[in-house]
Amino acid sequence: MKIVFMGTPDFAIPCLESVIKAGHDVAGVFTQPDKPKGRGYALTPPPVKVKAREYGLTVYQPSTLRDGSALSYLKELEPDCIVVVAYGKILPKEIIELPKFGCINIHASLLPKYRGAAPIQWSIINGERETGVTAMYMDEGLDTGDMIMKKSCVIGENETAGELHDRLSALGAQILPETLRALEDGTAVREKQDGSKSCYAAMLDKSLCQIDWSLPAEAVHNKVRGLSPWPTATAVIDGKSVKIHKTRLCEKSGAPGEIISLSPLTAACGSGSVIIDELQPQGKKRMDSRSFLNGHKLAVGECFE
């Protein structure tokens, strides 16, 4: 099958490689334009571009899909199917309707739950015990197309969004070749989504980061996990902000935000408490709590603000 692949971040790379290894003809790769990064603001290519170039694939980086140039290019390529994985742009109707087998998306949730930009993070923040990936036909809505197949997995009690990201990326690479085979042999189903069961996973920003210690320990723990590695949960102690990277649940109790143990470093919540395993002071590298305490003389009874 002749495929055009559309994707941008690391999450999409295993899917791209799975298409190549399955023997499909990848006629072109669409990805986001290079963006300035780092202190020097050097233009940096997206991960999918780097990987595509390693395979000698043609890369196209349009700033828009709506001026007709991308459509013209796709018409020249004549793909049987367009595969979209975390591309970051909404496809116009004329592109969605172009390929014989349609446009297929691999989405990192069990649709219709967690449509939107950050399904992995919100599934953890909201305390879900299960998630997965969904292969779906694309339409003009936001992750609203008919579903083809799903694969589910359990979310670990202490698993972070970064860790789950990597597992779901691999799971997507498993389901994609199966989906393409089903399209080719005519066995792909079209299951309508139940919109009444949907929820929206909005893009993350730093306004979410501050920990509210009055919440139950599970909610605090879920927030820390869901915001790791970015944008990262934060707390304030002695007037200074620290990033909280890893926690575990604990049954001990105290006043919200109170440090109730130094070995291990434990902070009380509205109910229960969390053991803080990894954190990061301002201007410093990420470290374990023992290393942090060697340089910050805290005492039991002090409080996070």
Secondary structure of residue 258 in the 3-state scheme: strand
All residues at 6 or more sequence positions from 283 whose CB lies less than 8 Å from its CB, including other chains: none
Q: Could you check whether the bond before residue 79 is cis, i.e. omega within 30 degrees of 0?
A: no
Query: What tokens does 135 get?
Result: 């292969």
Residue range 227-237: average pLDDT? Answer: 97
Q: Which amino acid is at 66?
A: R
- pLDDT tier, 277 (very low <50, low <70, confident <90, very high otherwise): very high
Residue 213's pLDDT band, with cuts at 50, 70 and 90, is: very high
Element (H, E) at 25: strand 25-30
- Give percent of the chain with pLDDT exceeding 70: 100
For residue 65, pLDDT over 90 is answered with yes
The correct CATH number of 2-201 out of 3.40.50.2300, 3.40.50.300, 3.10.180.10, 3.40.50.170 is 3.40.50.170
Average pLDDT over residues 258-263: 97
Q: DSSP labels for 62-116?
A: -S-SSSSHHHHHHHHH--SEEEEES--SPPPHHHHTSSTT-EEEEESSSTTSSEE
pLDDT over 90 at 40, yes or no: no
Phi, psi at residue 20, to the nearest 5°? Answer: -65, -45
Other beta carbons within 10 angstroms of residue 66's beta carbon come to: 14
Structure tokens at 212: 């509210």
Decide: helix, strand or coil at residue 1. Answer: coil
Average pLDDT over residues 219-230: 98
> Tell me, what's the pLDDT at 41?
85
**Banded pLDDT at 208 (limits 50, 70, 90):** very high
Per the DSSP assignment, residues forming a β-bridge with 107 are 134
Least confident of 21-30, 39-48, 161-170: 39-48
For 107-124, the pLDDT digits (tens) are: 999 999 999 999 999 999
Structure tokens at 41: 């603001």
The CATH T-level fold of domain 206-295 is: Methionyl-tRNA Fmet Formyltransferase; Chain A, domain 2 (3.10.25)
- Residue appearing with tokens 């305490």: 293
Decide if 161 contacts 228 (C-beta within 8 A): yes
pLDDT over threshold 90, residue 196: yes
Tens digit of each residue's pLDDT (9 = 90 or more) over 4-37? 999 999 999 999 999 999 999 999 999 999 999 8
Strand 273-281 and strand 240-250: the pairing is antiparallel
Would residue 213 be called left, alpha or beta, if left means φ above 0 and alpha means ψ between -120 and 50 degrees?
Answer: alpha
Query: How far apart are alpha carbons 83 and 176 in whole angstroms?
Result: 9
Residue spans of the domains in the chain: they are: 2-201, 206-295
- Determine the average pLDDT of the residues in 259-270: 97
Strands (E), 95-203: 103-107, 115-116, 130-137, 147-154, 200-201
